[in-house]
Structure formats: structure tokens, C-alpha cells
């Protein structure tokens, strides 16, 4: 089914850092950190983006939105392997092939790759959004 927002929480961030990030063109590795304010656990996130918890098939998942495009992010402490899905039935960074494959296998025009480390995967997701390459597929 479609994701249903169950709650939204803003990440803790100082006003000075928020202003600095608002005027930055691209995120850097220093913008990546752990959020502990998301309901149901913590997610590995880009600090300047809001975290949304969604219910997908009875499982709580974390999403962030960048330039109006929502994408999944893994739980904090996830060890990988990580898979970046830029075109699929779900889009974002996923842990393990088992969790990734249902969103891309048999889906025409899906695009995915195994990525290490996690911060690289998150930055590549933002690059795909900036380039117009990220897309949720039916």
C-alpha cells in the first residue's frame, strides 16, 4: 500500500546551523548524523532535513524530504550492506538486499546500486534528486 504519515518530528538543530545550511548549496559529510527524535527509534539522517515516520505494510519506516521529494533512510546503527534506490516502488537507502529487492526486481526502469559507506549513499540520493533522476515508480 501507500505510505501513511503517522507522525512528524523536527530534528534538533541550532538556529545558527539552520541558517548556515539554508544558505548552503549542497550538503556535506558534516551534515550527516544520527537523529534520536524520530518516534519509534532513531534514523541515520541528514541533519538539516525533517524526519517523517511512515507505516508501510505494518512496519514503521523513516523518511526524509529534500526539495519536495521523500525518500527512505535506514535506522540508526544499521550496518549494511546499503543499497541506494533512485527509481523503484520505494526510493531511498535500504539495508540488505532482502529489504531492497521487493522495491526494484521486476519493476521496469528501476535503478539501484550497492553503496558504502552510508554517508555516501545519502549524498548520492540528494544528487539524484538534484539531477531529476529520482522517481517513485508504480
Res 51: pLDDT: 83
DSSP the chain: ---EEEEEEPPP--HHHHHHHHT-SS--GGGEEEE--STTS-EEEETTS-EEEEEETTEEEEEEEETTEEEEEPBTT----EEEEEEESS-EEEESHHHHGGGTTT-TT-EEEEESSHHHHHHHHHHHHHTT--EE--
Res 47: pLDDT: 63
**Residue ranges, the chain, pLDDT below 50:** 1-32, 34-40
Amino acid at each position: 500500500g501507500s505510505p501513511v504519515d503517522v507522525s512528524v518530528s523536527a530534528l534538533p538543530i541550532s538556529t545558527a546551523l539552520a541558517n548556515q545550511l539554508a544558505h548552503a548549496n549542497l550538503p556535506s559529510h558534516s551534515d550527516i548524523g544520527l537523529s534520536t527524535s524520530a518516534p519509534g527509534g532513531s534514523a541515520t539522517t541528514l541533519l538539516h532535513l525533517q524526519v517523517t515516520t511512515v507505516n508501510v505494510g505494518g512496519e514503521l519506516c523513516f523518511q526524509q524530504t529534500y526539495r519536495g521529494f521523500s525518500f527512505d533512510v535506514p535506522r540508526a546503527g544499521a550496518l549494511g550492506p546499503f543499497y541506494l534506490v533512485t527509481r523503484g516502488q520505494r526510493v531511498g537507502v535500504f539495508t540488505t538486499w532482502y529489504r531492497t529487492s521487493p522495491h526494484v526486481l521486476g519493476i521496469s526502469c528501476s535503478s539501484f546500486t550497492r553503496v558504502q559507506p552510508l554517508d555516501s549513499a545519502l549524498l548520492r540520493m540528494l544528487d539524484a534528486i538534484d539531477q531529476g533522476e529520482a522517481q517513485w515508480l508504480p
